[in-house]
Chains A and B, each alone.
Chain A
Amino acid sequence: MTDAAKDTKLEHSSAQTELAAPPRSQWRDIWDQFKSHRGALFGSCLFFVIVLGVVIGPFVYWNDATFVPTGRDFITLRDMRPIYHGLWDGSAKMDWAYPLGTDNLGRDTLARLMFGGRVSLAVGMAAMILALLLGSLIGVMAGYFKKLDGLLMRLTDLFLALPLLPMILVAAVLFRESLSKAIGPEGGVFVLIVCLIGITSWMPTARIVRGDVLAIKEREFVLAARSIGTKPGNIITRHILPNVMSPIMVSATLGIATAIITESALSFLGFGFPPDFPTWGRLLNDAVDRMTLFPERVVWPGILISLTVLSVNYLGDGLRDALDPRIRGR
């Protein structure tokens, strides 16, 4: 290839990029803003790692969460210390096969942490989805249909005035037996806790969504849609919902955080899952009695809860900045 040809080709390609510099899409802008928020990036990576570890971990890890050794094994395997404990106390009982040690029944701590994380995260996500569905439904209804507005917003106010934690505790005790009988001990408690958290945490989402719907409803494109005869249901799903996605996504991330904390608090107070079905809160609660001897059993579940919530909070913070077009330009 001659130099001339090379030059023309270069020129050609540069001209092409100049001409075809693609219009920046909205998602690209959002991603760029999100990237510049260091905490958010860190938070999303951390959350991803925790989810991955909890979901894939049990397939890779060699110990079983529910295995309880019997006989002589029980004595040799129980109350093992984590391997890093050897750094300052060489005589401690530990084994490389049990990186975070075992509990007083000889069950592997790391395996139980992974299992508990699955439950905690599943409860958090499911409760968040339920709360979001309820909140968006009520918010959109209240914002779009004027007749329902007063009634639904009074309902929201009433729910906000309820003492939620005491009521969740009461309901968790009162409905546990019958649901356990109907669905099974673990499934029943799961459904119960998810429903309780979902039903008691939709209010902020509903308020935010209603405010946004009220503003968007008056815009020209909704008027245009209505004037060509679009039905209210279609206007809501095609024109309004996509425009209120950003506040919904932000409250989704914050919803996971509060749901995980509430579930752990319930388990910690002894109103959550049964003892052989660990969640992070339950593991923490079980370990409190022996925390003077084995502080690591308290610290690990606590750190995992805190890290998950922290990462989700940072994620929500970054999302809020990234999805807000007024901040994004700067």
Chain B
Amino acid sequence: MLTFTVRRLILAVPTLLFISLVIFLLLELAPGDPMAQVPLTVPPEVKEKMRQALGLGEPAPIRFWKWLVQFFWIEPQVLVDHIFGTSFSQGDLRVISWQTRSPVMDIVVQRLPQTLSVVGTAYIVAILIALPIGIYSAYRQYSWFDQLGTFVSMVGFSVPPFFSGVLVIVIFSVQLGWFPSIYDTTLKVTDWDSFVKQLQQMVMPVMVLALQITAQLSRFMRASMLDNLNQDYVRTARAKGIGEYTVVMVHVLRNSMIPVVTVIALGIPSIFGGAIITEQVFKVNGIGQLLIGAIQANDLPMVQTLTFIFAVLIVLFNLIADVLYGILDPRIRYD
């Protein structure tokens, strides 16, 4: 298992390098001049100097190498410095955003908590809702509960977040006035009142994100339970005289959880992708909104870094899912 994990970790390096190259080339090959916004009255030689200042003077391979060094060597040093108070990265050039002229990673770190709190809560809520629904609708297959569950998850698949988000805003914040329609990130949780406010503003984004995840997960849970419910070991367990609750919730559930856990792990990066839209709808200033803003402002270093962070998340959680699968299911051995 350890050798497998190590091998997958080593294999992830060329994958990530390739992805970073693809992202770099996409931005490189795109027609579009970062100097397009500069007024025409600026003389050409000044423009040339501005290009140099943005780091655009050198040929593409050198810039790609510089970005790699900055991202994989200097930024970790900055992190170490920040944690331990050392000064490894003193004087090194970091990845600088063209919009704000400050290091990209600093902005990402500022934005990350908002995204993580909304997305993370949504994911946990979705798991807590989806698993019982999946278990019960498999146990009572073709009952009205199962039919309803199928329908609701079909709807959850089909209603895009930019519509469900707008719909809940229209219903709950415009018509009923229960929740605020805009996520206020300056809110500090200090006492009970502000905590309630925080809860109120989180309800709708979490609901919208959780609906999608629940739809997928409950279907998966149901299918996985159905696969296991007719197995011989279940009959054996019943024949031994074990109670129905123990049979379903211990014997069957533990075996059914194996594929579901990997699906949960695989879904985490795609949730970050889906959160881009949800963040836009509810004006949560997380990394999704940062990306949209950066794309609109033609801030290439920011776009490159953010897209790459999404890619790292995907590769990382694919790895985690594979390893988890091997750990949870002793029948699967990769060696």
Residues of A within 8 A of B (CB): 39, 157-158, 161-167, 169-171, 173-175, 177-178, 257, 261, 264-265, 268-271, 281, 284-285, 288, 291-292, 295, 298-299, 302, 305-307, 309-310, 313-314, 317
Nearest 5 CB-CB pairings of A with B: A174-B30, A163-B310, A302-B163, A310-B158, A309-B158
Q: A166-B276, A173-B296, A313-B158 are in contact. Are A306 and B291 (CB under 8 A)?
A: no
Cβ of B31: which chain A residues have Cβ within 8 Å of it? 174-175, 177-178
Q: A163-B307, A302-B166, A314-B154 are in contact. List 8 more A-B contacts (CB 8 A).
A: A163-B311, A166-B303, A170-B295, A175-B31, A291-B170, A302-B160, A313-B157, A313-B158
Q: Is the CB of B26 within 8 A of A174?
A: yes
| B interface secondary structure, majority | helix
Q: Within the complex, which residue of B15, B167, B273 is in contact with A158, where a contact is CB–CB below 8 Å?
A: B15
Asked if B280 CB lies within 8 Å of chain A CBs, one says: yes
Cβ of B169: which chain A residues have Cβ within 8 Å of it? 291
Q: Which of A162, A166, A173, A310 counts the most chain B CB atoms within 10 A?
A: A166
Interface size on B, residues (CB 8 A): 43
- Chain B nearest CB, measured from A309 CB (Å): 4
CA separation between A314 and B151, bound complex, in Å?
Answer: 10
A interface footprint on B172-184 (CB within 8 Å = 1, 0 otherwise): 0010000000000
List 27 interface pairs A-B (beta carbons < 8 Å), by A numbering. A39-B154, A157-B15, A161-B15, A161-B315, A162-B19, A166-B276, A166-B291, A169-B276, A169-B292, A170-B30, A173-B296, A174-B32, A257-B158, A265-B160, A269-B292, A284-B166, A285-B162, A291-B166, A291-B169, A292-B170, A298-B163, A299-B170, A302-B159, A305-B160, A306-B158, A309-B159, A313-B157
Q: Is the CB of A298 within 8 A of B166?
A: yes
Q: Name B308's closest neighbour in chain A (CB-CB).
A: A163
Q: Which of B15, B30, B277, B315 counts the most chain A CB atoms within 10 A?
A: B30
Cβ of A158: which chain B residues have Cβ within 8 Å of it? 15, 18-19, 22
Cβ of B18: which chain A residues have Cβ within 8 Å of it? 158
Q: Is the CB of A284 within 8 A of B170?
A: no
Residues of B within 8 A of A (CB): 15, 18-19, 22-23, 26-27, 30-32, 154-155, 157-160, 162-163, 166-167, 169-170, 174, 269, 273-274, 276-277, 280, 291-292, 295-296, 298, 303, 306-307, 310-311, 313-315, 318
Q: Is the CB of A295 within 8 A of B22?
A: no
Cβ of B291: which chain A residues have Cβ within 8 Å of it? 166, 169
CA separation between A180 and B258, bound complex, in Å?
Answer: 49
Q: Is the CB of B273 within 8 A of A166?
A: yes
Cβ of A307: which chain B residues have Cβ within 8 Å of it? 158
Cβ of A170: which chain B residues have Cβ within 8 Å of it? 26-27, 30, 295, 303, 307
CA separation between A285 and B15, bound complex, in Å?
Answer: 36
Q: A175-B31, A264-B162 are in contact. Are A161 and B167 (CB under 8 A)?
A: no
